[in-house]
Amino acid sequence: MGATFAGGGGPPSSGPAVTAGVDPARPGPYREPFGRLVPGGSVVSVPGVRVGAAQATADGWLTGTTVLLPPHGTVTGVDVAGGGPATHETDVLTPGTHSPGADAIVLTGGSAWGLSAALGVQQGLAADGRGFPAPQLPGAYVPIVPAAAVYDLGRGDGTLHHPGPELGLAAYRSAREEGGDRAGVLGGRAPVRGSVGGGTGAFTGRGLLRGGQGSVCLRTRGGHLVAALVVANPMGDVLAPSGRPHADNVLEQVGLTVPPAPADWIEQALALDGTARDAVLSPRNTTIAAIVTDARLDAAQATRVAQSAQAGLARAIHPSHTLYDGDAVFALATGGAQTDVPSHELVAINAAAADALSLAIVDAVVAAEAHPRGADVSAQAPRPAALREVAPDLVEKWEALTTAS
């Protein structure tokens, strides 16, 4: 197995928010976007949050693992809405349990097999003295590492390859380390976008286009950051047959306008890989995400954020939450457990969570790289097109609007 990893974190300069147009005939706080885009922002724009990724792409492998490390005291919730989930330690996040938080969140490939990557993350955390102190066992820790997985089995050479503890530990180490001149680091930037980590082997639309990993950050009127990190691997499509994103109305709300994909984008994609032409409905999908805010929420409020974000998934993917998707969303509030956020701001945070997830899903498909078509990739395995191969103008415009600082 050939594994590479990249990591980093720490907030980039958030800068001023992009100003979207507001209809003067419809004044009031709820006529404006609930969150404005932070230019160049991502989940690591939230102070204290770090993201690392490890992926295996050689010798027939095409999968990976992403680790999100929140600051100490982060309150965590989760909502699982898909019909075929692959999750680990989600029950411990239920409001009223002994542990309302998590030491790390894992978003991984490998379906249920890939959940073993969480063990490697636990090992890394425990070695660093992070986790629940084991009673009467000095120096022993039990890290809480909830995880969710997408189905990407067989997408390299058609055989069973999946992340395990080794890849999980590599992803943890990449998140823990500072930026610098080390192998695999993306210019010191956190690996939050593209064909990295859990998004390495992601597909969309029953194999029509490449999926991937995406991230955006919004700022509410009340000043709170609300960011999304997603691994988009859905059965459904992110683009409509017309070439417009299904989330077009959300893009408009935050002031983003991108050109549609060409009218023949589907035929272009099929010309690169015809296996999707007769694709059947198959349980090989799932979209998983983490919403992170710097607000101070309790466990019930964090859970509500995760539930609200599922609406954003449904706006961006058609169809969504199917029997063949294990759609799951984590929500993390880094401000601690003090419930001092007013109700109108809670509404804004929940609405922004949904919008952020919609935008991050589009970002994941835009950022996806062309499928590796080297000698170690089986001719029998599907090799879907990347959006940048069939709609370069859309990709270029999106990247100019969302990543410019």
The SS3 of residue 54 is strand
- β-bridge mates for residue 5, sequence order: 54
- Per-residue pLDDT band at 159 (split at 50, 70, 90): confident
State the chain's mean pLDDT as an integer: 87
Q: 256 with 37: CB under 8 angstroms?
A: yes
At 401 the three-state DSSP class reads: helix
Q: Which of 152, 149, 177 is nearest to 51 (CA)?
A: 177
pLDDT at residue 375, rounded to an integer: 40
Bridge partners of residue 232, in order along the sequence: 212, 287
The pLDDT tens digits for 54-102 are 999 988 899 999 999 999 999 999 999 999 999 999 999 999 998 768 9
Q: Name the β-bridge partners of 202.
A: none
Helices (H) and strands (E) in the chain, counts: 9, 16
- For 189-208, how does the pLDDT look when each residue is reduced to its tens digit (9 = 90+)? 579 999 999 999 999 998 89
Q: Dump the DSSP string for 357-389.
A: HHHHHHHHHHHPPPPP-STTS-TTS--PBPHHH
Nearest by Cα to 303 from 115, 52, 81: 81
294-319 pLDDT tens trace = 999 999 999 999 999 999 999 999 99
Q: Tokens 């090799």 — which residue?
A: 383
What is the model's pLDDT at position 31? Answer: 65
Which of 74-83, 155-164, 173-182, 265-274 shows the highest mean pLDDT? 74-83
Q: What does each C-alpha distance from 240 to 7, 260, 322 come to in angstroms?
A: 34, 10, 18
